[in-house]
């Protein structure tokens, strides 16, 4: 029972991570397109966007998997 709940939480957490990152990329790409229309340059924002997504994905994996291990093995 507890295994199923933990697995569900992990899947939901990773799903949220995927959805949020995808939405963020979509919205920022829309913003970049607008910038290109105005002949602007968004190079620095593109880099910070990639770093932010990377940190988010790594932390999500770390927290989701790392904190579910005690639930699986201790209880």
Among residues 2, 4, 43, 73, which is the contact residue for another protein, using CB under 8 A?
Answer: 2
Contacts of 45 (CB under 8 A, 6+ apart): 28, 32
Q: Is 61 in the site for another protein (CB under 8 A)?
A: no
Q: Is 58 in the site for another protein (CB under 8 A)?
A: no
| Binding flags for another protein, 8-47, as an x/- string (CB under 8 A) | -x---x--xx--xx-xx--xx--x--xx-xxxx-x--x--
With beta carbons less than 8 A apart as the criterion, state whether 71 and 6 touch: yes
Q: What is the helix (H) or strand (E) element at residue 42, kind and residue range?
A: none
């Amino acid at each position: 029972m507890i295994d199923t709940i933990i697995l569900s939480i992990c899947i939901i957490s990773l799903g949220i991570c995927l959805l949020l990152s995808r939405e963020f990329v979509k919205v920022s790409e829309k913003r970049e397109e607008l910038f290109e229309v105005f002949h602007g340059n968004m190079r620095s924002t593109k880099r910070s966007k990639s770093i932010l997504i990377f940190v988010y994905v790594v932390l999500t994996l770390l927290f989701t998997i790392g904190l579910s291990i005690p639930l699986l093995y201790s209880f």
